[in-house]
Amino acid sequence: MEEKRLREVLTRYVAGNCTDAERAWVEDWYARGGLQGIARDQGTFSDEESREDLAAIRATLPKPEATVRRFRPWMPYAAAVLVVVTASVWIFQGQVMDYLFKGMHGRSGVVNVKDFAPGTNRATLTLADGRTIELSAEHAGVVMGDGITYLDGSDVLSGSSAQTHTLSLTTPKGGTYQITLPDGTAVWLNAASRLTYHEDNLARQRVVELDGEAFFQVKSAKDRPFKVRTKGQEVDVLGTSFNVNSYPDEPTIRTTLVDGALKVTGMATQQAVLLAPGQQATLDRGHRVHVDEVRVEDAVAWKSGMFSFNNTDIEAIVRQLSRWYDVEVVFQGNSPHINLWGEVYRDVNASEALDILHYFGLRYRVEQHGNSQRIVIYNE
């Protein structure tokens, strides 16, 4: 057994830093004997170590009442979601020990593996006069003011040469960056995204344009509403936090409200909806706007360095991975009709993120395709 991997999971559990899937497995594993059974079978961990680790886990296990409270918010969800949750946890529980024993690279079925590094702080700033600036990967964001500075105050451009009345911030695949606008609004751009603003517009009503995905923390100014325009949609806000996902390869545009209030308008039909915190507006290809109650954490997980899959279609997951790791991901034959559940850290290499496929009966391989490589997903 790979003892190091097991201890990492247990340490994260006791510290309260593990994922939902890891937490579910640890609690079930503990109920089935935990380290004592493994120690007998593998000859590792002393009795004293077993007692110490199990005592630490026992101290952190939720009380019955807390467990009920934790799961009660899920009750309104559709039965199909509950089935996915149950099946996913069962698969995780049944196979995670295989993961811990063999390690990711020791399993059969993954051939010709080349790893792909996760995204980093990467972005390009385009000014009104056409100049482009490749922003430093040593910094996470820029601030617009008299000039342009990084978050620590060091100069990108001085005030006299900045020409910031029109500006675009663009992140490539595998890149993310933050920008603070002159009014104090902070915007975090996900990979393969572009934010454009015009200072004249900001002076009157604060309008920005978005392609891709961004999280907004809008500075309140009641006399100057803030607008986010995407293809086919406009979002009106006074002061609030929200996420907009408007990638052109996604079938819908999704706007998720964290706090405050939003009005989302489909431009083709002028259908407008008001959002309350915890709601998501979805603009579909038929130009209809739907409102649903959602887990806000899933929509904004990327900003906290996580992939969060909650009954997520496998094709949507592939699109996320492709953008973040800057690699083409395709299916061998037709894509499987399955939804996945789980959390994956975004700061790991692609091989670790793709390991979630194993729990759902899928494998992958890396193939040479022309001058580049691509990841091919297939059934076991």
pLDDT at site 59 = 55
Q: What is the rounded CA–CA span in Å between residue 335 and residue 332?
A: 7
> E strand or H helix at 321, and its extent?
helix 314-325
- How confident is the model at residue 180, as a pLDDT? 94
pLDDT confidence of residue 86: 35
Hey, is 134 helix, strand or coil? strand
Cα distances from 43 to residues 1, 28, 30, 69, 106, in angstroms, run 9, 22, 18, 39, 21
Q: So what's the pLDDT on residue 214?
A: 98
- Measured in whole angstroms, the distance separating CA 257 from the mean position of its chain's CA atoms is 16
Count of other CB atoms within 10 angstroms of residue 218: 24
CB 116 within 8 A of CB 152: no
Polymer length in residues for the chain: 380
Quote the pLDDT of residue 204: 73
Residue 152 backbone dihedrals phi, psi, to 5 degrees: -85, 5
Q: Evaluate whether 238 touches 232 at the Cβ level (below 8 Å).
A: no
CA gap 60, 46 in Å, rounded: 22
pLDDT of residue 203: 62
Q: Which residue has the tokens 């811990």?
A: 100
Question: Which residues, 6 or more positions from 350, have their beta carbon under 8 angstroms from its beta carbon?
Answer: 115, 116, 117, 118, 321, 325, 327, 375
Mean pLDDT, each 10-residue run in order, the chain (380 residues): 59 70 64 46 47 54 36 29 36 37 35 74 92 94 89 81 76 97 93 89 80 95 88 90 96 96 94 95 93 95 93 93 95 89 90 84 89 90
Gap between the Cα atoms of 313 and 66, Å rounded: 30
Predicted TM-score of the model (pTM): 0.71
How many beta carbons lie within 10 A of that of residue 89, not counting itself? 19
Alpha-carbon gap, residue 207 to 229, rounded angstroms: 7
